[in-house]
Copies of this chain bind each other. A is one copy, B any other.
Amino acid sequence: MTSARPEIGSSTIDSVRYAEVHKPRSELVRFPENAPLKLACGLDLKLFQIAYQTYGTLNAQKSNAVLICHALTADQHIANVHPVTRKPGWWENMVGPGRLIDTDRFFVICSNILGGCMGSTGPASFKPGTQTPYGLDFPVITISDMVDAQARLIDHLGIDNLFAVIGGSMGGMQVLEWAARYKDRVFAAMPIATAAWHSSQNIAFHEVGRQAVMADPDWCGGDYYAHDVVPKRGLAVARMAAHITYLSEEALQRKFGRSLQDRSALTFSFNADFQIESYLRYQGSSFVDRFDANSYLYITRAMDYFDMKSQYGGHLAEAFRGTKTRFCVVSFTSDWLYPTRESRAIVHALNAIAANVSFVEIESDKGHDAFLLDEPDFFKTVSGFLNAAALRRGLPASGAA
């Protein structure tokens, strides 16, 4: 069948979004057919591509590279205006000239994860040699697959050893996989607000999100691309449910409480009477304008499958045995998605093999998303750890780059 296919995406924003899938406004590396990615599921992913952004300059010794790993719905646009949403980068408060992760000092790299929808190969990408998106023909990938793909990018950039690998949430899972799989390539590692295995409750929330997407008739069994529709309603519901888990009850109470939205009394209707309802609806509807529904399915699945303890024979410590990496593990008191006890399990495993590890639990009422927000104690932790590691690495002090 070679019938004419409709232009994918029915609105301008969808067109912009799908343009980023295929021809991202980012740096791009395409790996040749003879260099497929061997996936955990056993398949080879051929002709894959990784889209990435860099900030700053790699020094002559190639010793100042910082890889930042992004979370579930983020992407490579850390510190520049986002090409789809036109909003600032997701970690601009952390990364930039003179910022904590100082791009005058470090060469910062962030790549869109495998399975994503901002230019790295994922379910919305065309199958090799066709104009047909993978859809559900895309293989189910894992966090280790994402990290192996990133390692290929780091090879491509000619970097042997990363000064630091940093990431929060699913980014933190990637940090742990980097430290375990590429022991000689990571000088310092900072897993933030994360866990070494996905809990039952977290799998449960992801399953709700996936079922919400799949319940939307516009999902079309994953082949919505061919039908010029997008499962927006289902994906919005998935995002709304997930978004609650990114905040804390205290933060919701402080920000919204039971305050009404643009009205002085209850309307006795199903309108968004409460600010929290209006906020969640906005979170849902804005998300579908920038994210691919199948990517959401695949990435949540990768997180659910993440279990480093099981990968290493039931002993998490075995994942890191022999490591020389310096670790700083960070958690937030009000994070109920990845509570402090999950960070402690990582620290215990690292301690069990006498690794170089520090652990900081940051007092915050902002929930899981605290790692994206201005948290002074968190900022101090990042700068303290990076400065000490840079000194060890023989990098010039801050401001002297």
Interface residues of A (CB under 8 A from B): 40-41, 136, 139-140, 197-201, 203-205, 207-208, 210-212, 214-217, 233-234, 236-237, 240-241, 244, 247, 249, 252-253, 255-258, 266, 268-270, 272, 274, 276-277, 280-281, 284, 297, 301, 304-305, 307, 310, 336
Assembled-state Cα–Cα distance A215/B212 (Å): 9
Least Cβ distance of A33 to chain B in Å? Answer: 23
Given A207-B280, A211-B281, A276-B207, check contact A200 B253 (CB 8 Å).
yes
- Residue contact A208 to B280, C-beta cutoff 8 Å: yes
Which of A207, A249, A305 has the most CB atoms of chain B within a 10 A radius of its CB? Answer: A207
Which of A210, A253, A280, A307 has the most CB atoms of chain B within a 10 A radius of its CB? Answer: A280
- Residue contact B258 to A203, C-beta cutoff 8 Å: yes
Closest to A257 in B: B200
- Residue contact B208 to A244, C-beta cutoff 8 Å: yes
- Residue contact B268 to A204, C-beta cutoff 8 Å: no
Closest to A231 in B: B215
Closest to A243 in B: B204
Which of A40, A236, A240 has the most CB atoms of chain B within a 10 A radius of its CB? Answer: A240
Assembled-state Cα–Cα distance A199/B297 (Å): 30
Closest to A301 in B: B270
Contact of A201 among B208, B249, B304 (CB under 8 A): B249
Within 8 Å CB of A270, what residues of B? 136, 140, 210, 214, 297, 301
Within 8 Å CB of A203, what residues of B? 258, 274, 276-277
- Residue contact A215 to B234, C-beta cutoff 8 Å: yes
Closest to A252 in B: B200
Least Cβ distance of A166 to chain B in Å? Answer: 27
Assembled-state Cα–Cα distance A277/B211 (Å): 10
Closest to A141 in B: B268
Given A258-B200, A280-B208, check contact A305 B266 (CB 8 Å).
yes
Within 8 Å CB of A241, what residues of B? 205, 208, 241
Assembled-state Cα–Cα distance A256/B257 (Å): 33
Given A200-B276, A249-B199, A307-B258, check contact A207 B268 (CB 8 Å).
no
Least Cβ distance of A200 to chain B in Å? Answer: 4
- Residue contact A252 to B204, C-beta cutoff 8 Å: yes
Within 8 Å CB of A297, what residues of B? 270
Closest to A200 in B: B252
Least Cβ distance of A66 to chain B in Å? Answer: 32
Within 8 Å CB of A244, what residues of B? 201, 204-205, 208
Assembled-state Cα–Cα distance A307/B266 (Å): 11
Assembled-state Cα–Cα distance A154/B94 (Å): 63
A to B CB contacts below 8 Å, 26 in the list: A41-B268, A139-B268, A140-B268, A140-B269, A199-B253, A200-B253, A200-B274, A200-B276, A201-B252, A203-B276, A204-B240, A204-B277, A204-B280, A205-B244, A207-B274, A208-B240, A208-B241, A208-B244, A208-B280, A210-B270, A211-B240, A215-B215, A215-B216, A215-B234, A215-B237, A249-B336
- Residue contact B197 to A212, C-beta cutoff 8 Å: no
- Residue contact A237 to B208, C-beta cutoff 8 Å: yes
Interface contacts beyond A200-B257, A207-B240: sample of 14 additional A-B pairs, CB < 8 Å, sorted by A? A136-B270, A200-B249, A200-B256, A200-B276, A201-B249, A203-B258, A204-B244, A208-B240, A211-B236, A211-B280, A215-B236, A237-B237, A249-B336, A270-B297
